Structure 1
Amino acid sequence: MERNNLYPIFLKTEQLEILIVGGGFVALEKLSFLLKSSPNSKITMVSPFFREETLREVKGLNINIIQDYYKDFYLLNKHMVIATTDNVDVNIQVYKDCKKRNILVNVADNPPYCDFYMGGIVTKGNVKIAISTNGKSPTTAKRLRQFFEDVIPENIDDLVKNLNKYRKTIKGNFEEKVEKLNEFTKSLVEK
């Protein structure tokens, strides 16, 4: 059986500089995905053209729009790049330029040229679940996201906040606190 060896992390994108190369439908999709999950993301977009929907999406937001062809100097001070053009050669050049500079890069719909994938995300207040299919099936990730959105109760955030308050009142060392919290929360997963 094949195994997913990806390591999930949650990035504070408001502290990172992100570049999206492209201005078409895929660029809009990636932009919307980022903004839905992290509305304060620091994003620059560069493309010789932008869809009207993209320009409407960024209106009033702190997103830098540059109408130009991709050039490697746009990578300056970037932490993460998403290449979304419909030109495979440009996307691969973005990938190569990023690799030279140790910048994380995702070339949309081209898994061999990705350091990371943008999976399905479920958010309920402070609870966030990321779903990955190892780049194999975004549609499956989408369906799983819809499933978890339905089954996770809306009031899960109240539980998280209450447990955080309770955690602050527990006395003892780290192991004792973990044991008490495990005992307190085991009913969440009991069948």
Structure 2
Amino acid sequence: MKPQFPAVQGGGSLILAWQVRNRHVLVIGGGEVAAGRILAVLNADAKVTLISPSTNLNPEVRHRIASGAVTYIDREFQPSDLDPSLPTPPTNDTSSPSPAQPVDMVLCAIDSPTASTEIYKLCHRLRIPANIADVPPECDFYFGSVHRDGPLQIMVSTNGNGPKMAALVRRRIAGSLPGNTGAAIRKVGELRRRLRGVAPGNGGEVGAKRMRWMSKVCESWSLEDLCDMVEEDMDLLLAYYKDGMVPSLEQIRLKEEPGVYTFDGSFGWM
């Protein structure tokens, strides 16, 4: 029989979790869209420089500047902000220098289509990934509609076709999740970190065994149990890792010895 494989569906985008911690992100524009972009990259621990005349700043952007969350340059964007080899227009204002370090990403949210296109072309030539707000053909990546609950992030993307629809779908998904999902994931993350201490090493059979055991924990424990788990519970649970067993929270709190079980078939250990 011929094997069945997933069909290719072209026209999508590769959705990734882009790590921009300590990367330098340049935001051009100071309106409502820019405010959303700034918050998104600050949440990802990026270093943000904002270029925009002070007359164009919305209240949220002003707050980010006042709190010191972003480095602010009060003027219009200049090509030399990205390429120091290009000439800088003459000015008597020495209080607004160019960004102090190379730029890793550009987020443009200005009203001028012509200027936006020129910025995108410059980024493309310099191989700097860029997003030009509301112009999908001039975006190396898109911002989706994101649900955030602690370590949990869910992004819905329409690939530039309908941002409002993405928000509607995201709200529907978020509404279907239990309120303690993020807390349960945080506990699972701590358990995984402790497991690496018990079974160190990367890849191979060690990594595969860790993954199988963590899968058993996530599948057999409820969200309520994961949220209720404390450090002592984690240490007791990890004692069962060697034998590949996953007892219930109730059982580990009874402090049953690993390898000695009163098994009634209800916990799906095997």
CA offset digits 1:27-59 (Å, max 9, x no partner): 223223333x33x32111112333241212321
Aligned to 2:67: 60
Choose which of 15, 19, 28 in structure 2 pairs with 1:8. Answer: 15
Choose which of 106, 115, 130 in structure 1 pairs with 2:155. Answer: 130
Distance in 1 (CA, whole Å) between partners of 2:38 and 2:193 is 35
SS of 2:110 mapped into structure 1 = coil
Q: Which runs of 5+ in 1 are unaligned?
A: none
The two structures have a TM-score, normalised by structure 1, of: 0.83
Where do 1:98-177 residues align within 5 Å? Answer: 98-150=123-175, 151-154=177-180, 155-165=183-193, 167-168=195-196, 169=198, 173-177=206-210
Deviates more, 1:146-155 or 1:82-91: 146-155
The two structures have a TM-score, normalised by structure 2, of: 0.61
Give identity over the alignment, percent. Answer: 22
For the pair shown, which has the larger CA radius of gyration, 1 or 2? 2
Aligned to 2:245: none
Aligned to 1:181: 214
CA-atom RMSD in angstroms: 2.6
Distance in 2 (CA, whole Å) between partners of 1:174 and 1:157 is 20
SS of 1:11 mapped into structure 2 = coil
Question: Structure 1 or 2: larger strand share?
Answer: 1
* Paired positions, count: 187
Deviates more, 1:54-63 or 1:77-86: 54-63
CA offset digits 1:132-165 (Å, max 9, x no partner): 2212121222223323433143232344235415
Deviates more, 1:87-96 or 1:8-17: 8-17
Distance in 2 (CA, whole Å) between partners of 1:112 and 1:161 is 38
Choose which of 47, 57, 60 in structure 2 pairs with 1:51. Answer: 57
SS of 1:90 mapped into structure 2 = helix
Partner letter of residue 161 of structure 1?
G
Aligned to 1:87: 112
Check the 8 A contact 1:124/1:157 in 2, yes or no.
no
